[in-house]
Structure 1
Amino acid sequence: MTQNPENSSSNLRAIAEMFRLTGWISFWIQLVLGVISGIIILLFGIFSQRAGSPSNNPGTGFGVFLAICGLVVLGAGIYLAYRYTRIGNQLQSSNPNNRPRKLETIQILRLGLWINLGGTLVTLIGAQAIVGTLVARSISPQAISTQLFDPNRIISGLDMLVVQANTNTVSAHVAGLLASLLLLNRITK
């Protein structure tokens, strides 16, 4: 059973356009959320060091380390989203030798899935560590007692910004996951 070359060509153009559009949307969503998260984490690190008490700050521990790891992994996800746009351009090439093979493209999409899944996992574990530390600070006896008031036990807005940064990073990874799944679904039809 032979396939109509014109139908195959229009299908290839549709897939190429989907790769380009989905890649750019994913790229910009991940980039904007990643930059915002990176700035928040950087500012938090600067202000927490100026506060003079980094040991009481949940952001200087394991949670922020994992948040930074999630941002690094997000960098790989951003690169792959950009790579999807390049695959879309290659698929539009008139020379069939310049087009990526289907197997190579599927492998890149699977890599995108694994990178974004790993980044989501790392960032969520970091968020759990940060939120757990904040909860422990908020319910500690010194935070409740007015006689032994310790200002280091108060949860600041800066602490909540780190939680927001983690949420942004997870959202960026989810955008990458959705883009990879959408493209994988389209290419395997």
Structure 2
Amino acid sequence: MDRMDAEVQSLRRKINALYAEQLHFEKSADEAIGTYASNVQLIMLFHGLGSVFLQVNYPYAGAGVSVVMVASFFSAFMVAYMVTLNKIERMSEFEKDQQRRQMELQNEVTCFGAKIQPPSNGELENLASKGALRGALDSIDSLRKGAVALQEDITRILELSNSKNIRLKSLSQVAVGAIIYGLCFPTIAHYFLCLVGFKRAGPLSTMQQY
């Protein structure tokens, strides 16, 4: 029993180490998505301010301003998107190796649980004659509970590690919102400023005064 208790402790240490690695990995992945979202928001801010500034100061080139701002937005956006996507792909390679080690550890836990067998009738009689039956049965019950707990923990880690699709979904959601914004804002700003009449006189309007 002492040997099996030691095996439980060894498996527990391996699971704790993998769990710590997985938490660190998830934190790094979340930071990558968070940085991407912050960069996109910053691009959107400058894009919006730039659109308004150019529409106000160059009203005679409204369509041209919209095209320039859309092109500049998508250039900056694609850089941020590709950098983050490449980072996630590199993380996915590490995640595959991590999942392989997790599956191997799960097999070890399963094999350990299969080794826990009840004593035979002869062993029970021998233990009873020595007055050690209760202690032996308690030890077996403790090992079984330990094996179940180990299996639950490694299953939880495996569920936590299957998060690539969630990260890609988050990346896509931010991208869709940014694309809609990048396409629509310059045009909306143009018509809004025309509506409120908040535009400076450009060279054409200045020439018309003479």
Moved runs in structure 1, 4+ residues, more than 6 A?
183-187
Q: Distance in 2 between matches of 1:133 and 1:143?
A: 14
Query: Partner of 2:157 in structure 1?
Result: 162
Is 1:104 the equivalent of 2:76? yes
Q: Distance in 2 between matches of 1:70 and 1:113?
A: 16
Paired AA for residue 69 in structure 1: F
- 8 Å contact from structure 2 (residues 43, 73) kept in 1: no
TM-aligned CA deviation for residue 110 of structure 1: 0.6
More relative contact order, 1 or 2 (CA 8 Å, 6+ apart): 2
| Match runs of 1:126-145 below 5 Å | 126-138=98-110, 140=111, 143-145=114-116
TM-aligned CA deviation for residue 63 of structure 1: 6.5
Paired residues, what number? Answer: 133
Question: Given the two structures, how large is their TM-score scaled by the length of structure 1?
Answer: 0.52
Query: Partner of 1:73 in structure 2?
Result: 29
TM-aligned CA deviation for residue 121 of structure 1: 3.0
- 8 Å contact from structure 1 (residues 73, 116) kept in 2: yes
Is 1:114 the equivalent of 2:86? yes
Label 1:128 to 1:181 Cα distance change in 2 as closer, same or farther (>3 A): farther
Which residues of structure 2 form unaligned runs of 5+?
A: 1-7, 55-68, 120-139, 183-210
The answer to which structure has the higher helix fraction is 2
Label 1:177 to 1:135 Cα distance change in 2 as closer, same or farther (>3 A): farther
TM-aligned CA deviation for residue 160 of structure 1: 2.1
The correspondence for 2:168, drawn from 165, 174, 189, is 174
Question: Given the two structures, how large is their TM-score scaled by the length of structure 2?
Answer: 0.48
Q: Secondary structure at the match of 2:166?
A: helix
Q: Pairwise CA RMSD of aligned residues?
A: 3.6
Identity of aligned residues (%): 5
Larger Rg: 2
| Match runs of 1:22-101 below 5 Å | 55-57=10-12, 58-62=14-18, 64-93=20-49, 94-96=52-54
Which residues of structure 1 form unaligned runs of 5+?
A: 1-52
The correspondence for 2:117, drawn from 138, 142, 146, is 146
CA deviation map 1:32-68 (0-9, x unaligned): xxxxxxxxxxxxxxxxxxxxx6521242335642552
